[in-house]
Amino acid sequence: MNESFTIELQKLYDDSHVSPFIQEICEYYASKSDYDDGEGMDDIEPSEIVEPIYTLFLLQRRETLLDELSFVRKKYPHLFTCVEQLYEDILIHMDIRPLEAENAKRLSKALDEKVSADQITEKIEDLCSRTEDLCEALDPFYEWIHRFHS
């Protein structure tokens, strides 16, 4: 990973203004080029699964998380370049339903359609409604989709 990303990530992890969920997203996207090179691929889920999941979870708390990403843009501009496209995608969709449906279908397809887009959306909404920290909802969601994807 680029050294400037590493330095900004270290500062980001110490910043109480940024939730663990946004920190995780920033780390994933900053590290993505390393994963694209084949490094650490065994440690993460494939991008066709991870990226729609992050988008769907972001949509659950859109306003708050966009505010956090705006803060990242101001305070950690180099790091923000990695998540800028995701931020823009979330920002331009005032009506989140089409973006939510698109990402749920994308994830369903990545799971060989063993689970429907509606089931994915329903599960995410349920998990997110029961927890304050979205990171705490990610693990149960991954456990759930692993029943369909092996």
Please report the pLDDT score of residue 38 as a whole number: 55
Average the pLDDT over 117-139 and give the result. 96
Tens of pLDDT, residue by residue over 26-40, are 999 999 866 555 555
**Helix/strand/coil (H, E, C) string of the chain?**
CCHHHHHHHHHHHCCCCCCHHHHHHHHHHHHHHHHHCCCCHHHCCCHHHHHHHHHHHHHHCHHHHHHHHHHHHHHCHHHHHHHHHHHHHHHHCCCCHHHHHHHHHHHHHHCCCCCCHHHHHHHHHHHHHCCCCHHHHHHHHHHHHHCCCC
Whether 86 contacts 54, CB under 8 Å: yes
Buried b (16+ CB within 10 A) or exposed e, 75-89: ebeebbebbeebbee
User: Token match 């990171």: residue?
Assistant: 135
Tens of pLDDT, residue by residue over 39-83, are 555 566 899 999 999 999 999 999 999 999 999 999 999 999 999
Higher pLDDT, 3 or 86: 86
Whether pLDDT at 95 is above 80: yes
Distance of CA 109 to the CA centre of its chain: 18
Closest by alpha carbon to 105, among 118, 96, 87?
118
